[in-house]
Amino acid sequence: MKLNLKIWRQGGRYKGEFVTYTLDNVNEHMSFLEMLDVLNESLIGKKEEPVAFEHDCREGICGTCSLVIDGRAHGPMQGTTTCQVHMRHYKDGETIVIEPFRAKAFPVIKDLVVDRSAFDRIIQSGGYVSVNTGQAQDANSIPIEKEQASHAFDAAACIGCGACVAACPNASAMLFTSAKISHLALLPQGQVERQRRVISMIARMDAEGFGQCSNVKACEAECPKEISVENIARMNREYLSAVLTSDIA
Amino acid sequence: MALSGIFLMLFLIVHLIGNLQLLNDDGGESFNAYAHFMTHNPLIKIVSYLLYASILLHAIQGLLLWQHNKASRGTVRYAVNHVRSSEVSSRNMAWLGIVILVFLILHMYQYWFQMHWGNVPFIEYNSLDHPVKDLYALVGASYQNLGYVLFYVICMGVVSYHLWHGFWSSFQSLGLNHRKYTPLIKGVGIAYSVGVPVLFAVIPVWMYIK
């Protein structure tokens, strides 16, 4: 099939503008990223600058791929990363608009690549647990209620891709941060730093320039791992209780 | 936002119960007696100052939040916006709020200001040992204007939409989320956000028809 691609180009000779490319012979079995690979091959063949975009595992689990495709983070499908979108979802002759994630805290590096290191700094500020050195404890020696473990696992499914920020009209990172906080707050291993974690991760999140949550829930709708906004409520609860009861300044 | 919002939602219920007395067919006796009580009781006075402060806090905080969130989005906007993944009300709380603020200014000038500093004539009732200001007549006169009735009804629609998102949202922001109780909160929120503005809107429509 034939596709028209309207792609955001920024960096080099592009000041930040949409450039339209026409791509013939797109195979419906190609993944979206393979389609972009084909485009780049043809651009390189024409001695043009290829389109920069991020990708790594291409299995939907690493959180490296991004893109806002026709206004939706990670494309048109529910609970799917861009790398898992296939061209069979598109029709011949269609125009696809491809943009980078947009948020003040995610500056564009080049074309469709944005700097998501703000997420790394949020994790560094509190997304860890204290573990005794020496021999690893037997996993079964710490009893965890099944439901509790499931909720923690659901939160831990967050791959930190940043689609929540991209989809949020406030560019808020609260779904991401709350998933990380919930994941550890629900498990016995996360109790040691529980209060310090929520206070410092939220402080870091605000310092990075993300917006505040106004409960629009676009994040939940666009999250490739379908992380629930229940986690945001849990984070708010954790934060309130930590601020009121701990002596952390 | 959540705490002031919840206080304002509680106020709306009290305000509604009081104002439904406008529908009583007693020449305004019960409503005027109620209005006299509300303007003379010291406890109500304290709560009313808390209310004015909450309205201002809610509005100022909301506008600051709106500005902060817009700035967080960055300078370049998306060329294509997919809006179906969220509710219209949730994305437009600031605009709905601004309309409500304008409505409130007019609303307070028309009744609250007139009641306190305007020339509202007194009326005597046999059941009361003192004359009271006839706010009922003032309200009744304003609702003879079809334009004002329509404006009031439309504004109640805006209030309803604001509450449609605001009710559940305030609980979520305070972290009051529970697998057992959240469906109840959402259900009550829908009933509240539709029921309260509809009952408020019934008052001018009823008084216009009467």
The alpha carbon of residue A170 and the mean position of all alpha carbons in its chain are separated, in whole angstroms, by: 15
Residues A28 and A89 placed together within one structural domain of the fold? yes
Three-state secondary structure readout of chain A:
CCEEEEEEEEECCEEEEEEEEEECCCCCCCEHHHHHHHHHHHHHHCCCCCCCCCCCCCCCCCCCCCCEECCEECCCCCCCCHHHCEHHHCCCCCEEEEECCCECCECEEECCEECCHHHHHHHHHHCCCCCCCCCCCCHHHCCCCHHHHHHHHHHHCCCCCCHHHHHCCCCECHHHHHHHHHHHHCCHHHCCCHHHHHHHHHHHHHHCCCECCCCCCHHHHHCCCCCCCHHHHHHHHHHHHHHHHCCCC
Residues A56 and A122 placed together within one structural domain of the fold? no
- Could you tell me if B81 lies within 8 Å of chain A, comparing CB atoms? yes
| B155 confidence band (pLDDT: 50, 70, 90) | very high
Of A70, A58, A63, the closest CA to residue A98 belongs to A70
pLDDT at A248: 84
A18: in domain: yes
Q: Per mean pLDDT, which range of A139-143, B32-36, B183-187 is the poorest?
A: A139-143
Which residue of A lies nearest to B70 if distances are taken between CA atoms? A170
Residues A202 and A126 placed together within one structural domain of the fold? yes
- Domain, as residue range, for A46: 3-99
- Could you tell me if B163 lies within 8 Å of chain A, comparing CB atoms? no
Rounded to the nearest integer, the mean pLDDT of chain A is 96
> Are A63 and A48 in contact, with CB atoms under 8 Å apart?
no
Distances (CA, A) of A80 to A12, A202, A228: 31, 27, 15
> Are A186 and A157 in contact, with CB atoms under 8 Å apart?
no
Residues A57 and A124 placed together within one structural domain of the fold? no
pLDDT at A109: 97
Q: Smallest CA–CA separation between A78 and chain B, in Å?
A: 10
A138: in domain: no
- Domain, as residue range, for B200: 2-70+90-209
Residues A235 and A188 placed together within one structural domain of the fold? yes
pLDDT at A133: 87
pLDDT at A137: 81
Residues A85 and A121 placed together within one structural domain of the fold? no
A interface residues, B as partner, C-beta within 8 Å: 6, 8, 16, 18, 68, 70-72, 97, 99, 102-105, 167, 169-172, 209-218, 221-222, 229-230, 232-240
B146: in domain: yes
Residues A120 and A29 placed together within one structural domain of the fold? no
pLDDT at A157: 97
- Could you tell me if B74 lies within 8 Å of chain A, comparing CB atoms? yes
- State mean pLDDT over A187-195: 94
Q: Per mean pLDDT, which range of A172-176, A219-223, B29-33, B127-131 is the poorest?
A: B127-131
Residues A125 and A194 placed together within one structural domain of the fold? yes
B194: in domain: yes
> Are A96 and A19 in contact, with CB atoms under 8 Å apart?
no
- B23 phi and psi angles, rounded to 5 deg: -80, -15
Rounded Cα gap, residues A69 and A97, in angstroms: 6
pLDDT at A107: 97
pLDDT at B54: 97
Say if residue A98's pLDDT is above 80: yes
pLDDT at A132: 83
- State mean pLDDT over A231-249: 94
Which residue of A lies nearest to B74 if distances are taken between CA atoms? A104
Rounded Cα gap, residues A34 and A41, in angstroms: 10
Say if residue A249's pLDDT is above 80: no
Burial of B57 (0-12, 13-18, 19+ CB in 10 A): middle
A-chain residues near B176 (CB < 8 A): 233, 237
Pairing verdict, β A3-11 and A14-23: antiparallel
B85: in domain: no
A50: in domain: yes
Which of A97, A102, A215 is closest, CB to CB, to B90? A215
- State mean pLDDT over A117-130: 96
pLDDT at B128: 86
Q: What pTM was computed for the model?
A: 0.93
- State mean pLDDT over B175-187: 94
Residues A83 and A179 placed together within one structural domain of the fold? no
- Could you tell me if B172 lies within 8 Å of chain A, comparing CB atoms? yes
Q: Smallest CA–CA separation between B61 and chain A, in Å?
A: 12
B-chain residues near A211 (CB < 8 A): 68-69, 71-73
pLDDT at B157: 97
Which residue of A lies nearest to B84 if distances are taken between CA atoms? A218
A123: in domain: yes
Q: Smallest CA–CA separation between B180 and chain A, in Å?
A: 12
Rounded Cα gap, residues A84 and B34, in angstroms: 65
- State mean pLDDT over A181-187: 97
Q: What is the pLDDT of residues B65-119, one digit of tens each?
A: 999 999 999 999 999 988 777 889 999 999 999 999 999 999 999 999 999 899 8
B75: in domain: no
- Could you tell me if B130 lies within 8 Å of chain A, comparing CB atoms? no
- State mean pLDDT over B145-151: 95
A202: in domain: yes
- State mean pLDDT over A36-51: 97
Residues A173 and A237 placed together within one structural domain of the fold? yes
- Could you tell me if B77 lies within 8 Å of chain A, comparing CB atoms? yes
B-chain residues near A167 (CB < 8 A): 85
pLDDT at A116: 98
Residues A71 and A122 placed together within one structural domain of the fold? no
CB contact under 8 A, A209 and B72: yes
Q: How many domains does chain A have?
A: 2
CB contact under 8 A, B73 and A212: no
B-chain residues near A71 (CB < 8 A): 78, 80-82
Q: What is the pLDDT of residues A54-75, one digit of tens each?
A: 999 999 999 999 999 999 999 9
Say if residue A136's pLDDT is above 90: no
> Are A9 and A111 in contact, with CB atoms under 8 Å apart?
yes
A-chain residues near B171 (CB < 8 A): 233
Q: How many domains does chain B have?
A: 1
Rounded Cα gap, residues B7 and A128, in angstroms: 38
| B158 confidence band (pLDDT: 50, 70, 90) | very high
B76: in domain: no
| A191 confidence band (pLDDT: 50, 70, 90) | very high
Q: Smallest CA–CA separation between A134 and chain B, in Å?
A: 38
Number of Cα atoms under 13 Å in the Cβ half of residue B132: 24
Q: What is the pLDDT of residues A192-237, one digit of tens each?
A: 999 999 999 999 999 999 999 999 999 999 999 999 999 999 999 9
Q: What is the CATH number of the domain that holds A48?
A: 3.10.20.30
For residue B72 the two structure tokens come to 């967080």
A223: in domain: yes
